[in-house]
Amino acid sequence: MPGFLDSCLPASLAAFVLLFVPAAVAQPAREGAPAGATTAEPSPSFDLEIRAPATVRNLLERHLELGRYREVPDLDDAEIARLIVLAERQARELLGTLGYFSPDVRITREPGARPRLVVAVEPGATTVVSDVDIAFEGAIAGATESDIVAQRDLIRERWGLPAGQPFTQGAWDDAKAQALRRLAAKRFLAGRISYSLADVDAAGNRAALGLRLDSGPVYRLGDLEVKGVERYDARLVPRLARLPRGSEYDRDRITQAQLRLTGSGYYDSAFIYVDPEGDPAAAPVQVTVREARLQKLVLGVGLTTDSGARLSVEHTHNRLPAVGWRAVSALQLDRKAPSVQTEWTAIPDEQGWRWSVLGRAERVEDGDLVTQGQRLRFGRFRSQDHIDRNMYLQYDRARVRSVSGLPLDPAETGSGSALSVNYVWTGRYFEELPSPTRGFGVSVELGGGVTLEGDRAPFQRTVVRWLGLRPLSRGRLQLRAEGGAVLARPSAQLPATQLFRTGGDTTVRGYGYRDIGVALPNGTVGPGRYLAVGSVEWQRPIRRGGVDSAWESLLFVDAGAVANRVNDLRPAVGVGTGVRWRSPIGPVEAAIAYGVKARKLRLHFSVGFQF
């Protein structure tokens, strides 16, 4: 295009001179002008006005090159005429990215002291997707295994630009990218798009879409190549990552493995990379970690409505001399429940099981009763993706006294000691942790043992907990239930740590910490052998500008009861409302609840999702 280049050269050269040559050199000072005076900046060559609906006007204002060329000074009429022709073509291309393939674009020049260019646009009808054809090639195409068939169906079902939707270039690109991510998320690490076509019928405002995904072979994990291990046992990384050789590639499992490594306390960071250039039958897995310090000290200050101000000190030693176990020791100071605890845990074995030893001493104040308890525990536990298991032998001892000096019956107040064998199974099937919106969790605790004071008596203890989140058209329902029972002779002196009390921020709102129990003859509240707790909560997102925000409103009803006989269970009900912030560390909740039985309003705070 010699003519276009020749005519544009003066303007381009002028722009270069204005930008890079000092004003005093680019434009000689006017005769008679004072020394050092600056000249006025050159005015635009033309004015620009875009007349279009708001849905397309912003796009044209940002990207139409007329807006840039208008700042070039001294454009002549021929150059402006050429820019008008180019701008019309560019406007049509820009509108095509939004699905407008038959727009009416008119650019007129209005005379004046400075020309005015008016870009008038009628975008016309939006192009709509008429048909979508998604095909596969590679290992996924002819597979008959149910899980691969399900993956293939999921890609088609969740296609982001189905028939009937408006077609835009951005939506088309996003839909292809999402389909490829779903293909490569499991098994098919080297998946790619081998063919894609958007066949647009501009006259009919229709677009037929075609996509072919090449899965390549199924990838299976090979050996782990670990880097960055110096301080801790080299067996820790593979045992925490749990990525066995020969297992199919799964991006979610890789992510969970990274989270387990960083959440273990042994590593500050972890990065896992599966090399797609390696052998698909045994793809190398590269793990790079940065080890945490050998020791860590954490100081904490908090405030709860149940116990008031709280101070905590926690010390972690990741590799004790001689044994190589981790020791986590904590001291908590608050008004109602000060405690000291230390727990030692071994590194996991090849099946993920860990040995554990725990010692704890606490002082719990419940109105007129003060309980001093001690606990020793020895056992094994294993944490998997969704299921935790814990088996242990436990010794409990409790001494209960009355602040006012009232006489107490040890069997009623939980003053005693016991030795028990326990098994705990917990399954968590929630989505979007640490602030889940759907799913459920269930936990079962089974224990049996013998009391060690008074007439030695056998006992059996069972606790079942369940929490479910069910989405609604607006928000969700959170349903919670807990039941517990201790079976033993009435005279058995069971320690309070094996019995039940409830009430407080995370159990039955509207009541104080452990306010719900068995009414004793002296007017105090003691522990009981049967527990029943239930809650129904409506969680509804708070909308801002028509979009759900990170804040939610709450309406709830809680109920709980503790008794020594099933027939004596009488629920204490609390009703209330509150707000919750879905923070990065989990939900932060503030609620106000009315205890129907206590006839009091209480303010409750809690942080984090617990199950």
Convert the pLDDT of each residue in 71-115 to its tens digit: 777 777 788 888 888 888 888 888 888 888 878 888 888 877 788
Q: Is residue 590 predicted with pLDDT exceeding 90?
A: yes
What is the three-class DSSP state of 556? strand
CA distance 456 to 399: 17
**Same structural domain, 30 and 170:** no
- In the block, tokens 């939004």 appear at 98
> Residue 74 has what pLDDT?
74
Q: What is the mean pLDDT of residues 415-435?
A: 92
Tokens (6 digits) for 161: 């630009």
3-state secondary structure 465-508: EEEEEEECCCCEEEEEEEEEEEECCCCCCCCHHHCECECCCCCC
**β-bridge partners, 329:** 315, 342
SS3 357: strand
Cβ–Cβ contacts within 10 Å for residue 265, how many? Answer: 13
Query: pLDDT per residue over 116-135, tens digit each?
Result: 888 888 888 888 999 999 99
Over residues 44-52, the mean pLDDT reads 83
Nearest to 444 by CA among 394, 393, 390, 488: 390
Instruction: Report DSSP state, residue 100.
Output: -
pLDDT tier for residue 28 given thresholds of 50, 70 and 90: very low
**pLDDT, average across residues 200-215:** 91
Question: Does 521 share its domain with 385?
Answer: yes
Question: Is 102 found in the same domain as 34?
Answer: yes
| Whole-number pLDDT of residue 337 | 86
DSSP 3-state of 432: coil
User: What is the structure's pLDDT at 584?
Assistant: 79
Unique residue bearing structure tokens 């075609």: 210
Mean pLDDT of 243-256: 92
Domain count, the chain: 4
Quick one: how far is CA 531 from the chain centroid?
33
CATH number at residue 368: 2.40.160.50
Q: Which residues contact 113 (CB under 8 A, 6 or more apart)?
A: none
Contacts of residue 370, Cβ cutoff 8 Å, sequence gap at least 6 = 363, 364, 400, 401, 402, 403
Residues 447 and 496 in one domain: yes
In a domain, 321, yes or no: no
- Interval 253-299: pLDDT, tens: 999 899 899 989 999 999 999 999 889 999 999 999 999 999 999 99
458 or 126: whose pLDDT is higher?
A: 458
pLDDT (0 to 100) of residue 82: 86
CB 313 within 8 A of CB 296: no
Residue with the larger pLDDT of the pair 341 and 548: 341
- In the block, which residue shows the tokens 């796009």? 59
What average pLDDT does this structure show over 590-605? 94
Is 556 contained in some domain? no
Residue 31 has pLDDT above 90, yes or no: no
* Straight-line distance from the first to the last Cα atom of the chain, in angstroms, rounded to the nearest whole number: 72
Please indicate, yes or no, if residue 549 is contained in any of the structural domains.
no
Give tens-digit pLDDT for 144-201. 899 999 999 999 999 999 999 889 888 899 999 999 999 999 999 999 999 999 998 8
108-112, 116-120, 384-388, 393-397: range with lowest mean pLDDT: 108-112
- The pLDDT, as a whole number, for residue 304 is 65
Range of the domain at 148: 128-214
Q: Determine contact, residues 406/522, Cβ cutoff 8 Å.
A: yes
Residue indicated by tokens 């109602």:
336
Look up residue 278 and give its two tokens.
Answer: 């390696």
Q: What mean pLDDT value characterizes the chain?
A: 87
Beta bridge pairs of residue 15:
none
Q: For residues 595 and 574, is the Cβ–Cβ distance under 8 A?
A: yes
Q: Is residue 362 in a domain?
A: yes
Identify the domain boundary among 84, 101, 122: 122
The percentage of residues in the chain with a pLDDT greater than 70, rounded to a whole number, is 92
Nearest to 421 by CA among 498, 504, 525, 349: 498
Dihedral of CA atoms 138, 144, 150, 154 in degrees, nearest 10, equals 40
CA neighbor of 566 nearest in space, from 500, 491, 495, 473: 500
309: confidence class by pLDDT, cuts 50, 70, 90 = confident
Task: Supply the pLDDT for residue 18.
Answer: 32
What is the mean predicted confidence (pLDDT) over 492-501? 93
Q: Identify the band that residue 552 occupies on the pLDDT scale cut at 50, 70 and 90.
A: very high
Q: Which of 70, 87, 122 is the last residue of a domain?
A: 122
Long-range own/partner contacts, residues 199-202 (CB < 8 A, 24 or more apart):
200/101, 200/127, 200/167, 201/130, 202/101, 202/102, 202/127
- The reply to whether 389 and 435 lie within a common domain is yes
pLDDT for residue 64: 86
| Residue, of 546 and 430, whose pLDDT is higher | 430
416 neighbors 493 (Cβ within 8 angstroms):
yes
Distance CA 290, CA 269 (A): 5
Same domain, 89 and 23: yes
- The CA distance from 410 to 56, in Å, is 79
CA atoms of 39 and 500, how far apart (whole Å): 87
The answer to whether residue 207 sits within a structural domain is yes
* Whether residues 168 and 227 fall in one domain: no
User: What are the distances in angstroms from CA 47 to CA 43, 80, 605?
Assistant: 10, 11, 60
CB 591 within 8 A of CB 511: no
Rg for the chain, CA atoms, rounded: 36
What digits encode the pLDDT tens for the residues 500-540?
A: 999 998 899 999 888 999 998 777 888 999 999 999 999 99
Closest by CA position to 224, among listed 236, 238, 235, 234: 238
The residue count of the chain comes to: 611
pLDDT of residue 37: 45
- Average of pLDDT values for 549-567? 96
Is residue 527 domain-resident? yes
pTM over 0.75: no
Question: CATH number, domain at 204?
Answer: 3.10.20.310
Strand, coil or helix: 457: coil
Rounded to an integer, the average pLDDT of 23-30 is 39
What are the beta bridge partners of residue 169? Answer: none
149 lies in some domain: yes
- pLDDT at site 33: 45
* pLDDT classification of 602: cutoffs 50, 70, 90: very high
Burial of 565 (0-12, 13-18, 19+ CB in 10 A): exposed
397, 407, 401: which is closest to 368 by C-alpha? 401
Contact present, 560 and 573 (Cβ < 8 Å): no
59 and 206 in a single domain? The answer is: no
Mean pLDDT of 221-235: 93
In this prediction, residues 400-411 reach a mean pLDDT of 83
Residue 307 scores a pLDDT above 80: no
Residues 395 and 515 in one domain: yes
Domain identity same for 399 and 531 = yes
Structural tokens at position 365: 């104040």
Instruction: Note whether 458 and 448 are within 8 A (CB).
Output: yes
> pLDDT tens digits, residue range 318-345?
999 989 999 999 999 988 889 999 999 9
pLDDT category of residue 68 using cuts at 50, 70 and 90? confident
- Using the predicted structure, report yes or no on whether residue 3 has a pLDDT greater than 50: no
In a domain, 248, yes or no: yes
286 in the same domain as 252: yes
Same domain, 252 and 202: no
pLDDT at residue 441 in the model: 96
Q: What is the 3-state secondary structure (H, E, C) of 161-189?
A: CCCCCECCHHHHHHHHHHHHHHHHHECCC
C-alpha distances (whole Å) from 67 to each of 48, 105, 114, 443 are 7, 16, 15, 65
Distance CA 372, CA 364 (A): 6
pLDDT of residue 13 exceeding 60: no
What DSSP letter does each residue of 372-411 carry, written as one string? EEEEEEEEEEEE-SSEEEEEEEEEEEEEEEETT-----HH
CB 180 within 8 A of CB 213: yes
Instruction: Report which listed range, 34-48, 452-466, 580-594, is most confident.
Output: 452-466
Q: Which of 122, 143, 169 is the last residue of a domain?
A: 122
State the sign of the Cα–Cα–Cα–Cα dihedral 224, 229, 235, 237.
Answer: negative
